Amino acid sequence: MENKKPIVLLEEASVGHANEPVLSDIHLSIYPGEFIYMIGETGSGKSTLLKTLYADLPLLAGKGYVAGFDLHTIKRHKIPYLRRQLGIIFQDFQLLPDRNVYDNLLFVLKATGWKEKKHINERIQNVLSSVGMEGKAKKMPHQLSGGEQQRVSVARALLNDPKLIIADEPTGNLDPDTGEDIIRLIRYLTQSDRSVLMATHDYNIILKFPAPTLRCKNGKLTNVLKPNL
C-alpha cells in the first residue's frame, strides 16, 4: 500500500472556522482502498475536517492534499474539479426536493460537465442499479423512505466514479437496520481502490463492520488503536 500515493495527505494541519482552529497538528494519510471511521463528541471537529477536505472551508495551517489538489493553493474555480473526484454523503441526504430521482442525478452530471444524453442516461441507470433503486427514477424524494433517499444520495456520490467517499454521519437519520444496509452498500461499493472516510456516532456500526478509527478530541485527531468505544 505504501508505494501507492495517498488520496488524502495532511501534515501538521489545522482546520477550523474564521481562523480559529478546531483541530490542529493533524497528520492523516488515506490510501486507495482504505475505509476509515472518524468518531468524536458533538462539536469535536468531525464535520469541520470533512468540509476542509472538500474545500468548503480553507485549510488554516500545515500541508493538505486531496486527490492531487493542494488545499492551500487551490483556486476557487478549480474546486469543482476537486469535488468531481469525491463523493459526498450527508446525514440529511440533501436531495433536491422539487425534482425526481432522475433529475437529481441529472443535475449533478450537468453541473460536472456531462453533455451526451446517451451517456447521461446510461450513467444514471448504472448508479441507480448499483444501489438497488433502478425502478425509482421517477419518484420524488418525499415519495421515498429515508433509507431509499440515502441510497439515492449514495448513487449521486458515485456518479463521477470518485476516488474518495466522504460520508458525514450517513446513518444518523436512519433506523439501525436501514443504517446497516447503507453501510453494507457503501462498503460493497468501495471494495476496489476507492477510499472512504466516514464520520459517525454509531458505535454499533463500527463494532459490526470494524475498520481503522480516528478520534477527534481536545483539538487533536488520534488513532483509536483498539476500538474500546
Judged by the rule CB under 6 A, the positions of this chain that interact with ligand ATP are 17, 22, 40, 42-48, 216
Q: Is 130 helix (H, G, I), strand (E, B) or coil?
A: helix
Q: Which is nearer to ligand ATP, 140 or 224 (CB)?
A: 224
Grid cell locating 198: 466516514
Reference 60, options 15, 25, 18, 9; nearest CA is: 15
Rounded to a whole number of angstroms, the minimum distance from the CB of residue 107 to ligand ATP is 25
Cβ(46)–Cβ(40) below 8 Å: yes
Phi-psi region of 42 (alpha: psi -120 to 50; beta: other; left: phi over 0): beta
Rounded to a whole number of angstroms, the minimum distance from the CB of residue 91 to ligand ATP is 8
Rounded to a whole number of angstroms, the minimum distance from the CB of residue 18 to ligand ATP is 6
Q: Which is nearer to ligand ATP, 6 or 40 (CB)?
A: 40
DSSP 17: E
Q: Which is nearer to ligand ATP, 46 or 84 (CB)?
A: 46
Q: Which is nearer to ligand ATP, 91 or 195 (CB)?
A: 91
Cβ(139)–Cβ(91) below 8 Å: no
Grid cell locating 181: 444496509
Rounded to a whole number of angstroms, the minimum distance from the CB of residue 48 to ligand ATP is 3
